[in-house]
Amino acid sequence: MYIFLNGKLIPKEEARISPFDHGFLYGLGVFETIRTYEGRPFLLENHMARLQQGLHEMQIDCPITTEDALEIITALCEKNKLPHSSVRLNISAGEGAMGPQVEPFSQPTIMAFQRPVVPSSEMTEKEAVVLNLRRNTPETEFRMKSHHYFNNIAAKREVGADPAKEGLFLTKEGYVAEGVVSNIFWVKAGTLFTPALDTGILNGITRMFLLKRAKELQIPVEEGLYTLAELMTADEIFFTNSVQEIAPVYLLDGKTFPGKEGQMTKLLYEDYQRWT
DSSP state, residue 197: G
Report the b/e string of 171-195 with b at 16+ CB within 10 A.
beeebbbbbbbbbbbbbbeeebbbb
**CA 60, 92, 83, 86 torsion-angle sign:** negative
pTM: 0.96
Q: Which residues pair with 11 in a beta bridge?
A: 2
> Top-level CATH class of 2-116?
alpha beta
| CATH code of domain 126-275 | 3.20.10.10
At 205-245, the pLDDT tens digits run 999 999 999 999 999 999 999 999 999 999 999 999 999 99
DSSP-derived secondary structure for 82-118: -SSEEEEEEEE--B--SS---SPB-S-EEEEEEEE--
At 150-166, the pLDDT tens digits run 999 999 999 999 999 99
At 22-69, the pLDDT tens digits run 999 999 999 999 999 999 999 999 999 999 999 999 999 998 999 999
- Give the span between the Cα atoms of 246 and 241, in whole angstroms: 7
Delimit the domains of the chain by residue range.
2-116, 126-275
Task: State the pLDDT at residue 120.
Answer: 87
